Amino acid sequence: MTEPRPDLVIYGSPVSPFVRKVASLCLMKGVPHEVEGVNVFAPPQWFTDISPMKRIPVLRDRSVAEQGTGGTIPDSSAICAYIEKKHPAPALYPAEPMAYAEALFIEEFADTSLAAAGGLGIFRPIFFAVSKGEEPGLDKAREAWAKQLPPLFDVLETRLSGAEFFAGDVLSIADITVTQVMLQIALVAEMPLGGWPSLERHFAAMFARPEIAGPYAAADAIIRKALPSRFDLT
Ligand SMILES: N[C@@H](CCC(=O)N[C@@H](CS)C(=O)NCC(=O)O)C(=O)O
């Protein structure tokens, strides 16, 4: 028997940490969804029309509209907040107000500062160069690993300070987002986290979850075709 077509379509690629973040949230909630490939660097017109910031992911909820901008949501944070409202159980945003705000802050911190350092500083200089048949930008990546990432990891280490989760002692969007964004580095480089023991434990425990590891495996399968092994940045 074939599965019914899911209402939710995530446009993008699992190589994007923001696409994986949305996919992980759907998997943790048991929400049927599919990822439909879009090359954001050479997008078709229909995608440009629904992605004002020319970014992936964009979500379409087919139960709202099948065409046009109706029923579409750009930006992973807006998408995840929508799915939480539509499918409240299990909750992936803490109920307690301060913990809720902490989760939103950590999500934003990961989406911006951490994603810039790991994505623009490490993933892109290595993978984009190798994809074009050029030498990997290891100097830039090593500089990012040595200088940009440590203060960001320090923030995460302090916020965690031995706890299992970032906000309110519950699994939340904060844990999902930090892990998928950090995994962008792991796609191309070894990631020794010995200097940040709480973060190292959190990262390992989150990666042991199939809802995190599954979307990452889809990205890894794509990356390994061009880059068989990971670099040591230390
Ligand atoms: N804040 C956005 C960020 C999305 C984003 O930056 N996506 C990247 C892929 S990882 C992208 O589309 N980049 C296209 C480009 O740089 O032109 C979100 O959370 O969805």
- Domains, the chain, ranges and CATH? 8-86 (3.40.30.10), 97-226 (1.20.1050.10)
State the CB neighbour count (10 A cutoff) for residue 82: 15
* Euclidean distance between CA atoms 197 and 210, whole angstroms: 22
Residue for token pair 């990822």 = 35
State the DSSP string of 38-61: --TTS--HHHHHH-TT--S-EEEE
Residue 210, preceding peptide bond in cis (omega within 30° of 0): no
Phi, psi torsion values for 95, nearest 5 degrees: -80, -35
Q: Kindly tell me the burial class for residue 52, based on how many C-beta atoms sit within 10 Å of its own C-beta (0-12, 13-18, 19 or more).
A: exposed
Ligand 1 atom having least distance to the Cα of 17? 10
* pLDDT above 90: residue 3: no
Going from the Cα of 41 to the center of ligand 1, the distance in angstroms, rounded, reads 10
* Euclidean distance between CA atoms 66 and 87, whole angstroms: 20
Helix (H, G, I), strand (E, B) or coil at 168: coil
The predicted model scores a pTM of 0.98
In the prediction, which pLDDT does 117 show? Answer: 98
Going from the Cα of 161 to the center of ligand 1, the distance in angstroms, rounded, reads 30
Q: How far apart are the first and last CA of the chain?
A: 51
Ligand 1 atom 15, closest CA: 55
Segment 110-121 shows an average pLDDT of: 98
* pLDDT above 90: residue 2: no
Q: Is residue 168 left, alpha or beta, with left meaning phi > 0 and alpha meaning psi from -120 to 50? A: left
In the prediction, which pLDDT does 1 show? Answer: 63
* pLDDT above 90: residue 124: yes
Half-sphere exposure (Cβ direction) of 62: Cα atoms closer than 13 Å: 11
Segment 94-99 shows an average pLDDT of: 98
DSSP state of 148: I
Half-sphere exposure (Cβ direction) of 31: Cα atoms closer than 13 Å: 26
Residue for token pair 């962008």 = 184
Ligand 1 atom having least distance to the Cα of 79? 20
* pLDDT above 90: residue 210: yes
Identify which of 11, 50, 56, 108 to mutate to test ligand 1's pocket (most ligand atoms within 8 A of the CB).
Answer: 56
Per-residue pLDDT of 30-61, as tens digits, reads: 999 999 999 999 999 999 999 999 999 999 99
* Euclidean distance between CA atoms 77 and 142, whole angstroms: 29
Ligand 1 atom 1, closest CA: 75
Segment 130-157 shows an average pLDDT of: 98
Going from the Cα of 222 to the center of ligand 1, the distance in angstroms, rounded, reads 18
Segment 196-202 shows an average pLDDT of: 98
Identify which of 25, 40, 47, 106 to mutate to test ligand 1's pocket (most ligand atoms within 8 A of the CB).
Answer: 40
Ligand 1 atom 6, closest CA: 55
Going from the Cα of 196 to the center of ligand 1, the distance in angstroms, rounded, reads 27
Going from the Cα of 86 to the center of ligand 1, the distance in angstroms, rounded, reads 24
Going from the Cα of 2 to the center of ligand 1, the distance in angstroms, rounded, reads 33
Segment 193-216 shows an average pLDDT of: 98
DSSP state of 4: P
